[in-house]
Amino acid sequence: MSRQPTAIVLRSEEREQLLAMCRRPKAQARYVERAQIVLRAAEGQSNLQIAAALNTREARVSKWRVRFEREGLSGLHDDLRPGRPALLDEAELTKRLLAQLDQAPPAGHARWDGALLAKALDVKADHVWRVLRELGINLKRRQSWCVSTDPQFTEKAADVIGLYLAPPENAVVLSFDEKPCIQALERAQGWLKLPNGRALTGFAHEYKRHGTSTLFAALNIATGQIQAGHFKRRRRVEFLAFMDQLVAAHPGKELHVILDNLSTHRLEKEKWAKAHPEVKSTSPQPTRPGSIRSKSGSAFSPARHSEAPVSAACSNSSEPSTTSLKATTKPPLRFIGQRSALRPSLWRQNTRTLSTSY
């Protein structure tokens, strides 16, 4: 005589929870199957009938049927499976990784990468990349900065930021910049018919030089409109000629022009500035040569970054600097994993890119 299956009797609350488990959009398939087994068993179906309807084994139906009878809804969930214990100590690996980044890369390499770090630490590269992602370290990113030597840098920077955030009413704020030495090349271009009857468009490799061109551009920060002008040179004469174009394009309006620290862009003591009192120039850069705008972009150790002292010129730039220009422009931090010399292959690649950029 065959053994009778375990009888299942559901309360209304249990039935509602099982139905909700089946209808949940992101419910796991294994939990949906177990809920359907219990619901069908409560309807009086045998294990064989349930297994055939759900396309599973009869032993599995019997297992979850008995477990629900013994433990209730909590019995339908799996036991805790912690998995295989970790073989690496994350804290120790992070400490070793940061210490390795302080060391010079192997001979023949300009910087550390994931494969080199994994080989030096005798771990898998996946572990190295995971730690680097958690620390926010990019091995190919470069960062550089300089400390301004202008004692009035704070006031000048505040003026520029104020013009960007809150421009004066009934005034036009223009951000000016230039790009000199643009090669003016003339190439033969058009359609080229191939022997197979197809045609393609392109340009020839031969070209004719027409000297260089200098591009002056002024961005209206309120509207995003750009006014540009082409000149053969970038002397003060061409700069003032472009300023005349800006004044003519905005008649009767007050102009605030944000300039860089190029010597030809000085307007304070020019006769042109006295003839155009409606034009006001602002520059956050010092007039002293050798001070360069900070650029962003080489990976460094976060530990060293946090331990680096803040320069006095940054903390209180309104006071005159007593240190020399050479001392203040020296980077306060030492870059990790960077070398000044490029690899020969990378240098050749950059040279080809520069030679074919125009």
Residue 301 lies in a domain: no
- Given a cut of 90, is residue 285 above it in pLDDT? no
pLDDT at 286: 53
pLDDT at 343: 36
Pairing, β 279-282 against β 199-220: unpaired
| Residue finishing a domain among 285, 306, 325 | 285
| Residue finishing a domain among 76, 94, 123 | 76
Rounded to whole angstroms, the Cα distance separating 104 from 101 reads 7
The confidence band for 349, taking pLDDT boundaries of 50, 70 and 90, is very low
Q: What is the mean pLDDT of the chain?
A: 77
pLDDT in tens, 44-64: 899 999 999 999 999 999 999
Rounded to whole angstroms, the Cα distance separating 358 from 355 reads 7
CATH (domain of 259) = 3.30.420
Rounded to whole angstroms, the Cα distance separating 259 from 285 reads 9
List the single range of 80-84, 105-109, 223-227, 250-254 with lowest mean pLDDT. 80-84
Residue 7 lies in a domain: no
| Residue finishing a domain among 228, 261, 285 | 285
List the single range of 122-126, 183-187, 305-309 with lowest mean pLDDT. 305-309
Residue 306 lies in a domain: no
The confidence band for 144, taking pLDDT boundaries of 50, 70 and 90, is confident
pLDDT at 248: 92
Residue 27 lies in a domain: yes
- Given a cut of 90, is residue 97 above it in pLDDT? yes
Residue 276 lies in a domain: yes
Is the pTM higher than 0.85? The answer reads no
- Given a cut of 70, is residue 336 above it in pLDDT? no
- Given a cut of 90, is residue 116 above it in pLDDT? yes
* Contact present, 22 and 35 (Cβ < 8 Å): yes
- Given a cut of 60, is residue 104 above it in pLDDT? yes
Going through the chain in order, the beta strands assigned E by DSSP cover 171-193, 199-220, 226-231, 254-258, 279-282
For residue 284, what are the contacts with CB-CB under 8 A and spacing of at least 6?
Answer: 153, 156, 157, 159, 160
pLDDT in tens, 165-204: 988 888 999 999 999 988 888 887 777 778 888 888 877 7
The helix or strand, by DSSP H or E, that contains position 244, with its residue range, turns out to be: helix 236-249
**Phi, psi (degrees; rounded to nearest 5) at 104:** -70, 145
Residue 240 lies in a domain: yes
Residue 309 lies in a domain: no
Expressed as residue numbers, the domain containing 209 is: 156-285
| Statement to judge: residues 65 and 163 lie in one domain | no
| Statement to judge: residues 169 and 57 lie in one domain | no
pLDDT at 2: 57
- Over pLDDT 90: what percentage of the chain? 32
| Statement to judge: residues 187 and 277 lie in one domain | yes
DSSP type of residue 143: -
| Statement to judge: residues 43 and 163 lie in one domain | no
Q: Rounded mean pLDDT of 128-150?
A: 86
| Statement to judge: residues 162 and 274 lie in one domain | yes
List the single range of 25-29, 254-258, 304-308 with lowest mean pLDDT. 304-308
- Given a cut of 80, is residue 220 above it in pLDDT? yes
Residue 55 lies in a domain: yes
List the single range of 41-45, 92-96, 137-141, 313-317 with lowest mean pLDDT. 313-317
DSSP type of residue 232: S
- Please state the domain count of the chain: 2
List the single range of 139-153, 175-189, 278-292 with lowest mean pLDDT. 278-292
